[in-house]
């Protein structure tokens, strides 16, 4: 780990919203009197009925309840659109950059955004979507994805976005779990010069759903698709005739804005529920302060709206702030590894936010791809999704940032709604690999993993938990509040448990060390190993499977699978390929196994529990440190696994 410290550049601090002194002062205020602090900052958004209560939160197991601004009434879409119209109707809200650089980019003004969202909202109403109904969005990175989100928000429907890389099965599960009324998809999705058949995936998914679910189709490429009359609806055609005026529905602060499914260590993905009021306040405030966003800046987050990063930092945060946000349809390496920088130059991007996995992939392609472009408009760089290794940080800093742009390494989660640990660029000295300090109102603690005791020494290591609520916190698991309590509040009483391990250095800076549960992080995508295992065992030739992560140069972690075949089945390269394809189809390409090892037996305790610690070590090629194997039912299986390991 690098010990380098990069002080805040004085010229940056001078112009920043928050400097070091102000951070200290505001942070102290935020934790000493959260009611007063958030009562004030809650006013950054427009309320139809102002709130009188600020905070009513309880982390006690069995009574977990999180409410912010609970009697306030607002509309999220009105906050992201309508309130900006008088002052910046002609300002660009969204710059859309298409997959193919030869196609024209779109500059969508706030006035245009307003018209599109109003029309879209009226289309939803015409399809019978009502307040509180769930709408699943399965779209690529096209403006209609933002229109659809905001149209739901406008009429009080709850959206649930499913990343377009997920399989029909994964899509069907999410439609069914949330009992959605409507699915919104597109014909096909260009990405990196290839096309994904989204509508055809949707067709397959809908075979497993109630026949009441209707399907709105955005004809984006115009590619031919099948059409089910009475179920499928051409949304663009309806938008043309729909009224451009749809009054925003007054919503309670605690009404859910969206559901987003995410993986945990056990069971099927959970529907993380986010609120309207607290979420928006938190997304907007973190966007402004973490990126030091100023009026007129062009801001680009390269995430997909299928992940929480896209929700908070492509759509809701930037638009609530009246910003200009870039939405990119393509991939970092198409047509070549210079695309990110070409787009930064083309649209004069001021703040650029991406994932370490992208940085690592691009850094291997050579500096000339960056140096070709004029990046002088860049003021700040950001990363999110996984720990960033110092090599990648240094490359980002030297080659992209020319050594003079702060890098904000933001730690947060689908569950937290917005940044939790992050430098504020005008206030915080940077250390490559450290997410540094808590955002306002966030009280991180390190706990002793076994006892749950809070560790008070400054320099320490433990599991990362949060002591008190913040407005962006998830409110529940959709349809299963008990699971919410069990997952986040049962292991360590009185705290929100993050699932991450963490070190705090002598300066009080936080360094995330990675998940301490069976969640892995592959190219910044979060995956439950249990999900991959259940996909594998669903294959007729597989008897048992255990999946762990292992260090991967570009992806951060790769997916390592130990597979025991059914009696009589023979291992072969062909079968390996077949299983890889199988998992891709069951979950989606992001879950495709990197390594599959044939395991005649798995290391189990006498009670039959698989000892994953051992499997992790073998996958890491670190079998010198296997620890105690004496409790295994058959210790000899370990020798076989080491002998035949894939990762050497
Ligand atoms: C997990 C959450 C929140 C947006 C993207 C991921 C890891 C996230 C960092 C970071 C080290 C990070 C954690 C966390 N993570 N950001 N800056 N440094 N680790 O959201 O899919 O909910 O995943 O991503 O392990 O728990 P997510």
Query: How does strand 556-565 pair with strand 595-598?
Result: parallel
Residue 1 pLDDT > 50, yes or no?
no
Whether residue 512 has its Cβ less than 6 Å from ligand 1: yes
- Domain ranges in the chain are 523-644
d(CA 241, CA 469) in angstroms, rounded, equals: 45
Residue 3 pLDDT > 80, yes or no?
no
Whether residue 304 has its Cβ less than 6 Å from ligand 1: no
Q: Which residues of 627-647 are buried (b: 16+ CB within 10 A; e: fewer)?
A: eeeeebeeeebbeebeeebbb
d(CA 509, CA 432) in angstroms, rounded, equals: 11
Residue 479 pLDDT > 50, yes or no?
yes
d(CA 354, CA 254) in angstroms, rounded, equals: 30
Kindly give the distance from the C-alpha atom of residue 262 to the centroid of ligand 1, in angstroms, as a whole number: 12
Each residue's pLDDT tens digit, 146-203: 999 999 999 999 999 999 999 999 999 999 999 999 999 999 999 999 999 999 999 9
d(CA 27, CA 245) in angstroms, rounded, equals: 42
* Of 160, 165, 163, 164, the residue nearest 177 (C-alpha): 160
- State which of 411, 477, 518 you would mutate to test the pocket of ligand 1, scoring each by most atoms of that ligand within 8 A of its C-beta: 411
Whether residue 463 has its Cβ less than 6 Å from ligand 1: no
Q: Where do the H-state alpha helices sit in 132-252?
A: 143-155, 168-177, 198-206, 235-241
Per the prediction, the chain carries an average pLDDT of: 96
Whether residue 108 has its Cβ less than 6 Å from ligand 1: no
Kindly give the distance from the C-alpha atom of residue 189 to the centroid of ligand 1, in angstroms, as a whole number: 27
Whether residue 266 has its Cβ less than 6 Å from ligand 1: no
CATH number for domain 523-644, candidates 1.25.40.10, 3.30.300.30, 3.40.1080.10, 1.10.150.170: 3.30.300.30
Mean pLDDT is lowest, of 409-418, 489-498, 627-636, for 627-636
Each residue's pLDDT tens digit, 516-554: 999 999 998 999 999 999 999 999 999 999 999 999 999
Query: Residue with the nearest Cα to atom 2 of ligand 1?
Result: 413
Kindly give the distance from the C-alpha atom of residue 512 to the centroid of ligand 1, in angstroms, as a whole number: 9
If 0-12 CB within 10 Å is exposed, 13-18 middle and 19+ buried, where does residue 451 land? Answer: exposed
Q: What phi, psi does 601 have (nearest 5°)?
A: -150, 155
Give the model's confidence band at 633: pLDDT under 50 very low, under 70 low, under 90 confident, else very high.
confident
d(CA 276, CA 255) in angstroms, rounded, equals: 6
Give the model's confidence band at 267: pLDDT under 50 very low, under 70 low, under 90 confident, else very high.
confident
Atom of ligand 1 nearest to the CA of 388: 18
Instruction: Write down the pLDDT at residue 625.
Output: 75
Instruction: Write down the pLDDT at residue 76.
Output: 99
Instruction: Write down the pLDDT at residue 648.
Output: 80
Find out whether 514 and 501 touch, Cβ atoms under 8 Å. Answer: yes
- State which of 521, 527, 531, 555 you would mutate to test the pocket of ligand 1, scoring each by most atoms of that ligand within 8 A of its C-beta: 521
pTM, rounded to two decimals: 0.95
Kindly give the distance from the C-alpha atom of residue 384 to the centroid of ligand 1, in angstroms, as a whole number: 7
- State which of 309, 385, 516 you would mutate to test the pocket of ligand 1, scoring each by most atoms of that ligand within 8 A of its C-beta: 385
DSSP-derived 3-state class of residue 531: helix
Whether residue 386 has its Cβ less than 6 Å from ligand 1: yes
DSSP letter string over 413-478? -GGGSS-SB---TTT--B-TT--BSBPTT--EEEE-TTT-PBP-SSSEEEEEEESS--TTS--EET
If 0-12 CB within 10 Å is exposed, 13-18 middle and 19+ buried, where does residue 648 land? Answer: exposed
Cα radius of gyration (the chain): 24
Query: Residue with the nearest Cα to atom 20 of ligand 1?
Result: 413
Each residue's pLDDT tens digit, 594-622: 999 999 999 998 888 888 889 999 999 98
Query: Residue with the nearest Cα to atom 19 of ligand 1?
Result: 386
Phi-psi region of 174 (alpha: psi -120 to 50; beta: other; left: phi over 0): alpha
Instruction: Write down the pLDDT at residue 506.
Output: 97
C-alpha distances (whole Å) from 86 to each of 94, 111, 114, 422 are 17, 10, 12, 34
Q: Which residue has the tokens 């505001």?
A: 26
Kindly give the distance from the C-alpha atom of residue 520 to the centroid of ligand 1, in angstroms, as a whole number: 10
Going by the annotation, the residues of the binding site for CoA are 191-194, 309, 523, 584
Atom of ligand 1 nearest to the CA of 410: 17
The answer to whether the peptide bond before residue 335 is cis (omega within 30 degrees of 0) is yes
Kindly give the distance from the C-alpha atom of residue 499 to the centroid of ligand 1, in angstroms, as a whole number: 10
Distance of CA 531 to the CA centre of its chain: 18
Whether residue 500 has its Cβ less than 6 Å from ligand 1: yes
Q: Which residue has the tokens 């609970």?
A: 70
Q: What percent of the chain has pLDDT over 90?
A: 94
Instruction: Write down the pLDDT at residue 626.
Output: 79
Whether residue 262 has its Cβ less than 6 Å from ligand 1: yes
Whether residue 526 has its Cβ less than 6 Å from ligand 1: yes
What number of CA atoms fall less than 13 Å from residue 245's CA on the CB side? 0
Retrieve residue 267's tokens.
Answer: 């069971």
Retrieve residue 448's tokens.
Answer: 């002793």
ipTM here: 0.99
C-alpha distances (whole Å) from 355 to each of 3, 5, 113, 229, 369 are 22, 21, 28, 41, 18
Kindly give the distance from the C-alpha atom of residue 356 to the centroid of ligand 1, in angstroms, as a whole number: 11
d(CA 190, CA 103) in angstroms, rounded, equals: 12
Kindly give the distance from the C-alpha atom of residue 634 to the centroid of ligand 1, in angstroms, as a whole number: 37
* Of 626, 638, 633, 628, the residue nearest 607 (C-alpha): 633
Who has greater pLDDT, 635 or 126?
A: 126
Going by the annotation, the residues of the binding site for ATP are 385-387, 409-414, 500, 515, 526
Instruction: Write down the pLDDT at residue 55.
Output: 98
Mention every residue, 6+ apart, whose C-beta is less than 8 A from residue 288: 17, 317, 321
Q: What phi, psi does 515 have (nearest 5°)?
A: -70, 145
Each residue's pLDDT tens digit, 297-311: 999 999 999 999 999
Who has greater pLDDT, 136 or 3?
A: 136
C-alpha distances (whole Å) from 285 to each of 24, 40, 282, 404 are 17, 12, 5, 25
Residue 140 pLDDT > 60, yes or no?
yes
d(CA 378, CA 566) in angstroms, rounded, equals: 56
Each residue's pLDDT tens digit, 559-574: 999 999 999 999 999 9
Whether residue 163 has its Cβ less than 6 Å from ligand 1: no
501-506: long-range pairs with CB below 8 Å, 24+: 501/461, 501/462, 501/463, 501/464, 502/444, 502/446, 502/461, 502/462, 502/463, 502/464, 503/460, 503/461, 504/446, 504/458, 504/459, 504/460, 504/461, 505/431, 505/434, 505/458, 505/459, 506/458, 506/459
- State which of 512, 519, 527 you would mutate to test the pocket of ligand 1, scoring each by most atoms of that ligand within 8 A of its C-beta: 512
Q: What phi, psi does 286 have (nearest 5°)?
A: -65, -40
Mention every residue, 6+ apart, whose C-beta is less than 8 A from residue 531: 263, 268, 269, 587, 591
User: What letter would DSSP give residue 604?
Assistant: B
Residue 2 pLDDT > 80, yes or no?
no
d(CA 54, CA 345) in angstroms, rounded, equals: 43
C-alpha triplet 122, 124, 128: angle, nearest 5°: 110
Find out whether 564 and 536 touch, Cβ atoms under 8 Å. Answer: no
Whether residue 499 has its Cβ less than 6 Å from ligand 1: yes
Cβ count within 10 A of residue 205: 27
Give the model's confidence band at 264: pLDDT under 50 very low, under 70 low, under 90 confident, else very high.
confident
DSSP letter string over 219-240? -SS-------TTTEEEHHHHHH
* Secondary element (H or E) of residue 582: helix 573-586
If 0-12 CB within 10 Å is exposed, 13-18 middle and 19+ buried, where does residue 567 land? Answer: exposed
d(CA 268, CA 261) in angstroms, rounded, equals: 9
Find out whether 343 and 328 touch, Cβ atoms under 8 Å. Answer: yes
DSSP letter string over 57-125? EE--TT--EEEESTT-EE-HHHHHTGGGHHHHTTSEEEEEE-SSTTSPPEEEEHHHHHHHHHHHHHHHH
Mention every residue, 6+ apart, whose C-beta is less than 8 A from residue 60: 489, 493, 494
DSSP-derived 3-state class of residue 610: strand
What's the average model confidence in pLDDT over 466-486? 98
Going by the annotation, the residues of the binding site for Mg(2+) are 537, 539, 542
Atom of ligand 1 nearest to the CA of 383: 17
């Amino acid at each position: 780990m690098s010990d380098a410290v990069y002080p805040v550049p004085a010229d940056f601090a001078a112009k920043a919203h928050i400097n070091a002194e102000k951070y200290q002062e505001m942070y102290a205020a935020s934790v000493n009197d959260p009611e007063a602090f958030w009562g004030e900052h809650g006013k950054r958004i427009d309320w139809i009925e102002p709130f009188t209560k600020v905070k009513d939160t309880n982390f006690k197991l069995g009574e977990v309840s999180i409410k912010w601004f609970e009697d306030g009434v607002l509309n999220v879409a009105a906050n992201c659109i309508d309130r900006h119209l008088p002052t910046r109707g002609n300002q660009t809200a969204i710059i859309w950059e298409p997959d193919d650089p030869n196609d024209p980019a779109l500059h969508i003004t706030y006035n245009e955004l307003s018209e599109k969202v109003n029309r879209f909202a009226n289309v939803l109403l015409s399809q019978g979507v009502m307040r509180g109904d769930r709408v699943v969005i399965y779209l690529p990175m096209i403006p209609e994805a933002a229109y659809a989100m905001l149209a739901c928000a406008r009429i009080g429907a709850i959206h649930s976005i499913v990343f377009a890389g997920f399989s029909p099965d994964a899509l069907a599960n999410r439609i069914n779990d949330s009992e959605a009324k409507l699915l919104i998809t597109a014909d096909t999705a260009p990405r990196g010069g290839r096309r994904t058949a989204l509508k055809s995936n949707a067709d397959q998914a809908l075979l497993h759903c109630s026949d009441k679910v209707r399907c709105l189709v955005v004809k984006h490429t115009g590619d031919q698709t099948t059409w089910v009359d009475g179920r499928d609806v051409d949304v663009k055609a309806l938008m043309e005739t729909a009224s451009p005026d749809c009054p925003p529905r007054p919503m309670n602060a605690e009404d859910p804005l969206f559901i987003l499914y995410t993986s945990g260590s056990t069971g099927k993905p959970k529907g993380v529920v986010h609120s309207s009021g607290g979420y928006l306040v938190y997304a907007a405030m973190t966007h402004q302060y973490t990126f030091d966003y100023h009026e007129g800046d062009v801001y680009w987050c390269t995430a997909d709206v299928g992940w929480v990063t896209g929700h908070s930092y492509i759509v809701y945060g930037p638009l609530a702030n009246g910003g200009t946000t870039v939405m990119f349809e393509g991939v970092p390496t198409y047509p070549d590894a210079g695309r990110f920088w070409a787009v930064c130059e083309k649209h004069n991007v001021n703040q650029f936010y991406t994932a370490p996995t992208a940085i690592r992939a691009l850094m291997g392609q050579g500096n000339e791809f960056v140096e070709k472009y004029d990046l002088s408009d860049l003021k700040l760089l950001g990363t999110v999704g996984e720990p960033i290794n110092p090599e990648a940080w240094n490359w980002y800093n030297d080659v992209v940032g020319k050594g003079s742009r702060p890098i904000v390494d933001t730690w947060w989660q689908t569950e937290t709604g917005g940044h939790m640990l992050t430098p504020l660029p005008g206030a915080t000295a940077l250390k490559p690999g450290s997410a540094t300090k808590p955002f306002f109102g966030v009280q991180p603690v390190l706990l002793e993993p076994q006892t749950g005791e809070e560790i008070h020494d400054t320099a320490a290591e433990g599991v990362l938990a949060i002591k008190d609520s913040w407005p962006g916190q998830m409110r529940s698991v959709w349809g299963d509040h008990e699971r919410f309590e069990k997952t986040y509040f049962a292991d360590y009483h009185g705290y929100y448990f993050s699932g991450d391990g963490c070190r705090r250095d002598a300066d009080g800076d936080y360094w995330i060390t990675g998940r301490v549960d069976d969640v892995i992080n592959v190219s910044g995508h979060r995956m439950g190993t249990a999900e991959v295992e259940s996909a594998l065992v669903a294959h007729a030739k597989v008897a048992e499977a255990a999946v762990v992560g292992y260090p991967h140069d570009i992806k951060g972690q790769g997916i390592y699978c130990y597979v025991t075949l059914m009696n009589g089945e023979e291992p072969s390269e062909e079968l390996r390929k077949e299983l890889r394809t199988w998992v891709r189809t069951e979950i989606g390409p992001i879950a495709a196994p990197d390594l599959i090892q044939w395991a005649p037996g798995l290391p189990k305790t006498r009670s039959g529990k698989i000892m994953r610690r051992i499997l992790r070590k073998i996958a890491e090629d670190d079998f010198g440190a296997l620890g105690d194997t004496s409790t295994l039912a058959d210790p000899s299986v370990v020798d076989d696994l080491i002998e035949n390991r894939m990762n050497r």
